[in-house]
């Protein structure tokens, strides 16, 4: 039985622990806190001050996950994928703005600039965004370096889900997998540079959904891929980590849905 004072200090501790995310230290603008700020595969990457002396960590945030082209203007939008249509993108103002040439619904490309400081800040050295709510600041930096290439792929032996007109079609358009090199994408037909934050039921060209009996993750970057038995991602089947990269993993159950997140210092959406 805990004493009243022990309960009181436990309650105080829990209150602080629960409040911690809301008290996320927003240290300042990108340009004032970060050096070597660059646009890499449409991620904003920089070496930013942690708040402890002059220590910096390298981190990044996926701009395609946050910015869209709205009629020729760069605009904040979750999963906006601005880079699909905009080109000649560059950072201005020390990395605090993104400038691109983007097509409006009709007519010539427009020269458009968005102020990244509106939704991206440095939190204890991490470039994070509040676009999807207050960001969760990692307690310690990742053990994985920020990759020079953030690409990752997944794939494997598959059939189309039960009830498809031609169940073998899915397996015929993606290669079977085998154990191989971590960075070999030949057997991973689905390639990404952004996190898969909402459950994805893989499909290719046609609306036939895949179900995998083997699953492979590939890429030099440290990503975690989770496979689920259902297309809503409620029943977890397997979690693949960088240690599993390059392996063709036999699944205990068919996988129909996937999510992924970076294990390096990368924003999770």
Ligand X SMILES: *[C@@H]1O[C@H](CO)[C@@H](O)[C@H](O)[C@H]1NC(C)=O
Binding interface with ligand X (CB under 6 A) = 99, 111, 113, 157, 176-178, 180-181, 184, 186, 214, 248
Q: Which candidate, 29, 47, 36, 51, places its Cα nearest to that of 118? A: 29
| Shortest CB 157 distance to ligand X, Å | 4
What is residue 96's DSSP assignment?
Answer: T
Is residue 64 within 8 Å of 42, Cβ to Cβ?
Answer: yes
**35 or 88, CB closer to ligand X?**
88
Can you tell me the distance from the alpha carbon of 128 to that of 131, in angstroms, rounded to the nearest whole number? Answer: 9
Q: Among residues 112 and 265, whose Cβ is nearest to ligand X?
A: 112
**Residue showing tokens 């924003």:** 267
Instruction: Provide the terminal-to-terminal Cα distance of the chain, rounded to the nearest Å.
Output: 43
Nearer to ligand X, 79 or 93 (CB): 93
Closer residue to ligand X in complex, CB, 12/176? 176
> Is the alpha carbon torsion for 171, 175, 195, 83 positive or negative?
negative
- Bridge partner residues of 43 (DSSP): 40, 62
Residues facing residue 224 across a β-bridge: 261
Query: Which residue's CB is nearer to ligand X, number 10 or number 176?
Result: 176
Smallest distance from the beta carbon of 17 to ligand X, in angstroms? 44
Q: Give min distance, CB of 263 to ligand X, in A.
A: 24
Shortest reach from residue 188's CB to ligand X, in Å: 11
Can you tell me whether residue 265 is helix, strand or coil?
coil
Element (H, E) at 38: strand 34-40
Closest contact distance (angstroms) between CB of 158 and ligand X is 9
């Amino acid at each position: 039985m805990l004493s009243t004072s022990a309960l009181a200090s436990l309650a105080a501790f829990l209150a602080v622990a629960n409040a911690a995310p809301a008290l996320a230290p927003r240290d300042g603008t990108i340009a004032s806190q970060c050096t070597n700020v660059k646009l890499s595969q449409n991620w904003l990457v920089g070496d930013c001050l942690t708040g402890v002396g002059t220590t910096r960590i390298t981190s990044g945030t996926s701009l395609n996950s946050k910015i869209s082209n709205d009629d020729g203007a760069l605009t904040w939008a979750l999963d906006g994928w601005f880079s699909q249509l905009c080109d000649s993108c560059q950072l201005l103002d020390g990395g605090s703005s993104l400038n691109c040439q983007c097509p409006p619904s009709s007519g010539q490309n427009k020269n458009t600039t968005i102020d990244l400081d509106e939704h991206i800040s440095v939190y204890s050295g991490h470039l994070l965004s509040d676009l999807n709510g207050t960001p969760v600041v990692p307690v310690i930096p990742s053990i994985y370096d920020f990759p020079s290439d953030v690409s990752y792929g997944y794939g494997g032996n598959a059939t189309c889900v039960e009830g498809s007109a031609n169940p073998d079609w899915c397996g015929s358009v993606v290669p079977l997998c085998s154990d191989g090199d971590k960075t070999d994408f030949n057997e991973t037909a689905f390639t990404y540079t952004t996190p898969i934050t909402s459950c994805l039921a893989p499909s290719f060209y046609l609306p036939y959904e895949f179900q995998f009996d083997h699953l492979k993750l590939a890429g030099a970057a440290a990503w975690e891929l989770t496979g689920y038995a259902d297309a809503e991602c409620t029943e977890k089947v397997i979690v693949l980590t960088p240690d599993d990269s390059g392996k063709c993993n036999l699944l205990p159950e068919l996988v129909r849905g996937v999510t992924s997140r970076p294990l390096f210092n990368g924003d999770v959406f």
